[in-house]
Amino acid sequence: MIKLIRPKKIVCFTRTLLIAGALFFLHEVFINPDISVFASTARTVEKLSIDPEFQPLSGTYHYQVAWNKVNVGTARISVEQENDQYKIAVHAETNKKLDRIYKIRYRGESLISDDPFSPIEAKIHERVKSTKKETVIEFQENGAIKSTETKSKKGKPAKETELEIQTENFTLDPFSATFLVRRLDWEVGMEEIFDVFTGDDQFLLELKCIRKTAIEIAGKNRKAFEIVPELTNLDKKEQAKDHKKINDMWIYVSADETREMLKIKVALKIGYFRIILEKFEHGNGKAE
């Protein structure tokens, strides 16, 4: 589908931002070769504007995934809380029409500690046509992060790859990063920065809140913060490729106590890719 237009972009962004799971349609890593001055300073959770009073509702968010005005799939994100831990689950898939030429199934989950805020473990399952990939990311207290990736294709033996990194910077998996975006106490002009590890690569993620606006969601006007992300691959070899994109992606978080992820928009060479909230279903099964 969108891969036919821009071959490579989302495994990074579904892996990076939450509605992350739905962005799996793109497969081209968004790289900014100009390392920000923030990259040279220690990035800690204490430097983030986390709202300690924010409590997300337990339940499931349902999204429509579209390329221009064409529906290409669906996604859903669920949040569950148990004591001082949160479980975030993401599912995304192409629709039946697209399945005939490019079938994609994506699911992932992250277990997060709330006090202090930190990821514990993330699991990602990706299936693109006949290729499957399973990734497990484990976070340890000493700053070590381990990932195990198992990739298989029909008719071929599975290949397993292990990777371990050591970092002093506050680092999240893609799903806990999405959850963190909702927990930040946004104001126009705010800039937040932290690292994201996808299991393959480590990125510097800068989020800039550029304005407060109104967008239509499910027939209602919702006030939202418009946030622009800038992502930098911390691998210097990737930085040298000079694949810079400007104003390529916009995230809209509701400017109310729910801080819902309302929409993500990505600019393509031909039109736009959008992920739009359709409804929220409470843990008790009641929809809004």
Weakest mean pLDDT among 19-33, 105-119, 147-161, 257-271: 19-33
The predicted-structure confidence for 146-199, as pLDDT tens digits, reads as follows 999 999 988 888 899 999 999 889 999 988 998 999 999 999 999 999 999 988
Closest by Cα among 175, 196, 29 to 111: 175
Whether 54 is in a domain gets the answer yes
- Among the ranges given (14-18, 88-92, 102-106, 145-149), the one the predictor scored with the smallest mean pLDDT: 14-18
Least trusted range by pLDDT, from 8-17, 91-100, 165-174 = 8-17
| % of the chain residues with pLDDT over 70 | 80
What pLDDT, on a 0 to 100 scale, did the predictor assign at position 241? 60
pLDDT range class, residue 284, cuts 50, 70, 90: low
pLDDT in tens, 105-122: 889 999 999 878 999 999
Domain that holds residue 47: 2-282
- Reported in sequence order, the residue ranges of the chain that DSSP labels E, i.e. its strands, are 59-67, 70-82, 85-94, 104-114, 117-128, 131-139, 144-153, 159-166, 171-172, 191-197, 202-217, 220-233, 249-254, 261-267, 272-282
The per-residue pLDDT for 143 is 87
Angstrom distance (rounded) from CA 128 to CA 106? 8
Contact 149/135 with Cβ under 8 angstroms?
yes
Which percentage of the chain shows pLDDT scores above 90? 44
The larger pLDDT score, comparing residue 32 to residue 185, is at 185
Determine, yes or no, domain membership for 221.
yes
User: How many structural domains are present in the chain?
Assistant: 1
194 near 48, Cβ under 8 Å? yes
Average pLDDT over residues 204-216: 94
Q: Is residue 209 part of a domain?
A: yes
**pLDDT confidence tier of residue 35, bands split at 50, 70 and 90:** very low
pLDDT digits (tens, 9 = 90+) for 38-48: 445 678 888 89
Pairing of strands 171-172, 191-197: parallel
Check whether 245 has a pLDDT greater than 50: no
Return the higher-pLDDT residue of 74 and 233.
Answer: 74
Question: Could you say which DSSP state residue 37 is in?
Answer: G
Does the structure show a pLDDT above 80 at 24? no
Residue 183 falls within a domain, yes or no?
A: yes
Q: Is residue 263 situated within a structural domain?
A: yes
Q: Does the pLDDT value for residue 2 go beyond 80?
A: no
**pLDDT value at 124 more than 70:** yes
Residue 287 lies in a domain: no
pLDDT confidence of residue 246: 46
Q: Assess if residue 40 is contained within a domain.
A: yes
Residue 114 lies in a domain: yes
Three-state SS across 40-105? HCCCCHHHCCECCCCCCCCEEEEEEEEECCEEEEEEEEEEEEECCEEEEEEEEEECHHHHCCCCEE
